């Protein structure tokens, strides 16, 4: 059985809970801990769900908000059934592959 794993990035929620409403407020706090990120990088880190984050940045964020990495992201996992191949579900119509569409000829008048 395969499992589908997903996560929710909760940095914006942690910031709001601590009264930080601007992403620029996070820049000096990260710099104090050795993570020098630009304004656009911090904006993307807060407003989007990152695919890759260095452990140094995660450690700095956890130190800033006095939280654990589990508070920063929520992981969900569920069983994933692979679709069986070779048999079509009853609501799918099989197409006749021998019939091909004809090209249209457009004539100017």
| Domain membership flag for residue 93 | no
> What's the domain count of the chain?
1
Q: Which domain holds residue 56?
A: 2-80
CB atoms within 10 A of CB 25: 14
Assess if residue 7 is contained within a domain: yes
Q: Is residue 60 part of a domain?
A: yes
Residue 109 pLDDT: 73
87's enclosing H/E stretch is: none
Q: In whole angstroms, how large is the CA radius of gyration of the chain?
A: 25
CA neighbor of 73 nearest in space, from 19, 24, 6, 27: 6
User: Is 90 part of any domain?
Assistant: no
**Could you report the per-residue pLDDT of 42-71, keeping only the tens digit for each?**
999 999 999 999 999 999 999 999 999 999
102 domain residue, yes or no: no
Question: What is the greatest pairwise CA distance in the chain?
Answer: 76
Whether 94 is in a domain gets the answer: no
CATH of the domain at 45: 1.10.260.40
pTM above 0.85, yes or no: no
Confidence category of residue 40, pLDDT binned at 50, 70, 90: very high
Spatial distance between the Cα atoms of 57 and 51, rounded to a whole number of angstroms? 13
């Amino acid at each position: 059985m395969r499992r589908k794993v997903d996560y929710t990035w909760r940095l914006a929620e942690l910031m709001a809970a601590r009264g930080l409403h601007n992403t620029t407020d996070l820049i000096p706090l990260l710099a104090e801990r050795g993570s020098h990120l630009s304004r656009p990088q911090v904006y993307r880190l807060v407003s989007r769900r990152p695919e890759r984050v260095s452990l140094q940045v995660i450690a700095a964020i956890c130190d800033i908000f006095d939280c654990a990495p589990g508070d920063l992201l929520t992981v969900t996992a569920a069983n994933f059934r692979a679709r069986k191949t070779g048999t079509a579900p009853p609501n799918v119509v099989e197409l006749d592959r021998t019939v091909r569409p004809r090209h249209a000829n457009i004539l100017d008048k």
